[in-house]
Amino acid sequence: MELAGLLMAAVALVISLTTAQRQLRLARHANVVPVLIDVFREHRGQHLADARLFVYTEIDRYDLSLGLPGLPDDGKRDLVRHLMWYYDNVGAMVVHRIVDLEPVSGYLGGSVDDMWTALEPLVLAERERRTLASDPLRWQWYFEHLALQVRSRPPAKVRPSAPRGKPT
């Protein structure tokens, strides 16, 4: 009788722990979804779309070895700065496990990789310019780290397979 009671208590404990773990996962998911929706909405917004277009089509005309001062002061510099801050902020959320890498890489991964490739020379030059800052190598570190993480878990690996055939 004693053994049966211990066994029942152990089963109840396992069920309780499993239920608690599932509830924590669901609560975290419920908190993360609005954050991801906002992140994705901002990425689709006109301001960041204009910034990405500038990086894709015009940035190679400028001397990125000068850092941000190498960009025109007609609003384009601010576009690029806001774009880099955006990716740096997303990278911070991934590094600190506020959001998971998979949905970020699945949705933004191609842009993160393309933007980092285009902007890395500017970031490195800007870090050099910031030698008087307390920690110049931290400037855009989260953006850089996000790009490295996306490259290790590219969109094609984290996205679910597309359904085949005709829609029903």
DSSP string, 116-134: HHHHHHHHHHHHHHTTTSS
- Check if the beta carbon of residue 92 is closer than 8 Å to that of residue 39: no
Task: Measure the N-to-C terminal CA separation of the chain; round to a whole number of Å.
Answer: 57
What is the per-residue pLDDT for 13? Answer: 73
Based on the number of CB atoms within 10 Å of its own CB, is 158 exposed (0-12), middle (13-18) or buried (19 or more)? middle
Question: Which are the contacts of 116, defined by CB distance < 8 A and separation ≥ 6?
Answer: 87, 143, 144, 146, 147
Model-wide pTM > 0.85 = no
Ranges of residues in the chain whose predicted pLDDT is under 50? none
Cα–Cα distance for residue pair 9/40, rounded to 1 Å: 46
Cα–Cα distance for residue pair 157/73, rounded to 1 Å: 39
What is the per-residue pLDDT for 58? Answer: 96
Residue of 136, 140, 50 lying closest to 87 (CA atoms): 140
